[in-house]
Amino acid sequence: MRISLWVSVIVVAGLFGWGAWQRRWIADDGLIVLRTVRNLLAGNGPVFNAGERVEANTSTVWTYLIYVGAWVGGPVQLEYVALYLALTLSVLGVVFTMLGTARLYAPSLRGRRALMLPAGALVYIAVPPARDFATSGLENGLVLAYLGLLWWMMVCWSQALRAPGPANAAPVFRGGPPTIRRQPVGPASNARSVSGFFDGALAFVAGMSVLIRPELALIGGLALVMMLIAARDWRRRGLIVLAGGLVPVAYEIFRMGYYGLIFPGTALAKDASGSKWSQGFVYLSNFNNPYLLWAPAILLIGLAAVVMVTRGRPWGIRHTTAPGQGWLARTVQSPQAVVAFMLVSGLLQALYWIRQGGDFMHGRVLLTPLFCLLAPIAVIPLVLPDGRRMARGAGYLFVGATSLLWVSIVGWSLWVANSSGMGPDATRVTYSGIVDERRFYAQATGNAHPLTAADYLDYPRMRAVMTAIENTPDGALLLPAGNYDQWDVVPAIPPPPDAPPDVKGRTGPHTVFFTNLGMLGMNVGLDVRVIDQIGLANPLAAHTARLEDGRIGHDKNLFPDWAVAEGPFLKTRPFIPAYLDEDWIAQAEAALECPATDAMLNAIRGEMGPRRFLSNLMHAYSLTQYRIDRVPLYELERCGLEVPEPMREPYTGMPATGP
């Protein structure tokens, strides 16, 4: 069985790694993370723009993991640090999951002849988005590694209490994963200390879920609840709470004090607590339809049923009654409960994302629930009949059924692995707002594997923005023009004529207002402020209300008039483009004086010190809840501020009076 297991693991890991490498790329959103890492390396802190404390990345662990990788890697380009980390973690996630599932079945197969065959793992790596996001520079690979490790550790934890021998038998853990041997009573205290260490390690891993991705707290939190229920005494419960909560709570205090928010800025920008059920079901359909995911679901359910029959005594385990453990505790700390935990976790993740509306990237956010649901059957045992537990005829019947179902899964996997996915709609933004992100950027850049920021210079407007920055040494606000080869320029306010020579000689500020933050932020210097209308890096946009009919993931849209109003830029004609309104700019400038808005901006732009940190900490909830109206006139009304005098007379249809 061990040989077949390791052959399966090596084959699946090799296929997944090779398939992901064939589709290697770094997404624009992956480059957003790297801009933050650049600022960390430059000493500006974990920010997207220097001097503005905005958390533009969802995964805290992924950001700092790349930072450590860049620090260790030295001269290695950041994009390649992210690429290799993502690929390695993706493959490790699949490996951990297969080993965890094999361990789940191992006790009931002891002394029997069986082959371990990949099943759910094959289904996962066959789905094209799984290979797309294995290298995308996003945290998907980290999520896989985390889930695989948590699954493996939970299975080990569930098997900590095995069939007892004499009354004085005690559990012993060796090499991390728990195993049970018959031991004299003497070493029992040592076994308990090792058991406590393993519980602490598992609690730590479970607690880190919220820093991998916030919604994974549904998984890690459930694991911690199970551990607390199964704990033998209050001392063990205290250890679990401390190990599981220390780092997340400490970082949450830092986030509230430093960023003035109770969750990542990306969650604020996308209103992660909101709901768009109809769009969520569109997203689910978009993921299912190209691959007919219901087909492997039926086949895997059939395989699971066969495994349940052929494995013999339930999970091959009889629990001891440890001191302080009642019926509920023993039930929770059991393989059956851990399987239910993973399945429920997958369903909760799927439900969360469907409620949220999914994503604009094809399949991306549903990969996590798919991975969870497939974990308990990542590999399956093909039990060879031995005539001891069932008649050989029945045994061969089950072998035939298992083989037929497994071959069907292999056939489906081969078909899906070579499918065209979304087909002709892959690179078009249709009514659903969903695209195949990798193919979209490969087509837009003309590069099959866009990996570095330099590769994205071939994306529309990118080379033009570099030219525009070079041609405006005195500073400017750059706005995307209708022509992909140029940018509209709003000049910076020049220094007064009587300014000292050192002031006159300074290079003016540059701000670029554009949706694609990653490719832009990584191609320009850290002295260039890069903001967007969606709110990932723009605090004003982030604090606007979500548009009900906006494209999913892009459903906030701040008018560029605000960017002119809040910056040191000329705000009247002829210095502003024709599509901007002088009155709107004046109204936005007045609206920025709203006391609550000023306090919100000061929380992230004011000089950081102990008083600022404590103030942000105390007001983080109210700052997170604060919203402004994206229409300047309505924002003035909301704040009770006076409307500035119009720059020109409003059009009435009557001839102008006067000479």
What distance in Å separates the CA atoms of residue 203 and residue 246, rounded to the nearest whole number?
A: 10
State CA 326 to chain mean position distance.
38
- Rounding to the nearest 10 degrees, give the CA dihedral for residues 138, 139, 144, 146: 170
Phi, psi of 618 (to 5 degrees): -70, -30
User: Do 102 and 5 touch, CB atoms closer than 8 A?
Assistant: yes
State CA 280 to chain mean position distance.
17
pLDDT confidence band for 317 (50 / 70 / 90): very low
Token pair for residue 480? Answer: 């995307």
| Nearest by Cα to 524 from 457, 570, 479 | 457
| Nearest by Cα to 416 from 19, 141, 139 | 19
pLDDT for residue 327? 86
- In this structure, which amino acid lies at residue 633? L
406, exposed or middle or buried, with CB in 10 Å at 0-12, 13-18, 19+? buried
User: End-to-end alpha-carbon separation of the chain, Å?
Assistant: 98
245, exposed or middle or buried, with CB in 10 Å at 0-12, 13-18, 19+? middle
Q: Percent of the chain scored above 90 by pLDDT?
A: 76
Q: Indicate the angle between helix axes 60-73 and 78-105, nearest 10 degrees.
A: 120
Q: Which of 361-365, 392-396, 481-485, 570-574 shows the lowest mean pLDDT across its residues?
A: 392-396
- DSSP state, residue 46: S
- Rounding to the nearest 10 degrees, give the CA dihedral for residues 382, 387, 390, 396: 50
- Rounding to the nearest 10 degrees, give the CA dihedral for residues 354, 359, 364, 370: 0
What distance in Å separates the CA atoms of residue 641 and residue 520, rounded to the nearest whole number?
A: 36
State CA 516 to chain mean position distance.
18
Task: Read off the pLDDT of residues 43-66 as tens digits, 9 standing for 90 and up.
Answer: 999 999 999 999 999 999 999 999
Q: What is the mean pLDDT of the chain?
A: 89
pLDDT for residue 169? 38
Q: What is the mean pLDDT of residues 262-271?
A: 93
What distance in Å separates the CA atoms of residue 81 and residue 63, rounded to the nearest whole number?
A: 12
Alpha helices in 392-546 (DSSP H): 392-417, 437-445, 462-470, 501-504, 517-523, 539-542
What distance in Å separates the CA atoms of residue 441 and residue 26, rounded to the nearest whole number?
A: 9
Q: Is the dihedral of CA 154, 156, 162, 168 positive or negative?
A: negative
pLDDT for residue 437? 95
State CA 186 to chain mean position distance.
47
pLDDT for residue 112? 76
What distance in Å separates the CA atoms of residue 149 and residue 639, rounded to the nearest whole number?
A: 50
> Which H or E run contains 295?
helix 294-310
| Nearest by Cα to 427 from 362, 475, 500, 480 | 362
User: Do 519 and 526 touch, CB atoms closer than 8 A?
Assistant: no
pLDDT for residue 154? 97
Q: Which of 153-162, 219-228, 351-360 shows the lowest mean pLDDT across its residues?
A: 153-162
Q: Which of 585-589, 614-618, 655-659 shows the lowest mean pLDDT across its residues?
A: 655-659
Identify which has the larger pLDDT, 270 or 109. Answer: 270
Q: What is the mean pLDDT of residues 474-489?
A: 94
pLDDT for residue 388? 58
pLDDT for residue 89? 98
Q: Residue 207: CA atoms inside 13 Å, Cβ hemisphere, count?
A: 22
Beta bridge partners of 537: none
524, exposed or middle or buried, with CB in 10 Å at 0-12, 13-18, 19+? buried
Task: Read off the pLDDT of residues 631-640 as tens digits, 9 standing for 90 and up.
Answer: 999 999 999 9
| Nearest by Cα to 363 from 134, 547, 85 | 134
- In this structure, which amino acid lies at residue 343? L
pLDDT confidence band for 284 (50 / 70 / 90): very high
User: Which range scores top for mean pLDDT: 192-206, 393-407, 519-533?
Assistant: 519-533
- In this structure, which amino acid lies at residue 136? S
pLDDT for residue 185? 43
What distance in Å separates the CA atoms of residue 200 and residue 240, rounded to the nearest whole number?
A: 6
Q: What is the mean pLDDT of residues 636-658?
A: 77
Q: What is the mean pLDDT of residues 333-338?
A: 95
- CA distance to 13, 76, 212, 400, per residue, from 86 (Å): 14, 15, 13, 39
Phi, psi of 431 (to 5 degrees): -60, -30
User: Do 335 and 315 touch, CB atoms closer than 8 A?
Assistant: yes
Phi, psi of 52 (to 5 degrees): -140, 105
What distance in Å separates the CA atoms of residue 507 and residue 488, rounded to the nearest whole number?
A: 19
Listed in sequence order, the residues at least 6 apart from 624 whose beta carbon sits closer than 8 Å to its beta carbon are 260, 261, 262, 263, 268
**Would you list the DSSP string of 402-442?**
HHHHHHHHHHHHHHHHT--TTGGGTTS--TT--B-HHHHHH
What does pTM read for this prediction? 0.91
Cα angle, residue 231 at apex, residues 225 and 234 outer, rounded to 5°: 105
Token pair for residue 566? Answer: 């809040």
Task: Read off the pLDDT of residues 172-202 as tens digits, 9 standing for 90 and up.
Answer: 333 444 444 444 444 555 656 677 889 999 9
Q: Is the pLDDT of residue 324 over 90?
A: no
> Which H or E run contains 118?
strand 114-118
Query: Hey, is 348 helix, strand or coil?
Result: helix
Q: Residue 507: CA atoms inside 13 Å, Cβ hemisphere, count?
A: 9
Q: What count of other Cβ atoms lies within 10 Å of the Cβ of residue 351? A: 13
Task: Read off the pLDDT of residues 66-91 as tens digits, 9 standing for 90 and up.
Answer: 999 999 988 889 999 999 999 999 99
Q: What is the mean pLDDT of residues 255-273?
A: 93
Identify which has the larger pLDDT, 179 or 534. Answer: 534
pLDDT confidence band for 409 (50 / 70 / 90): very high
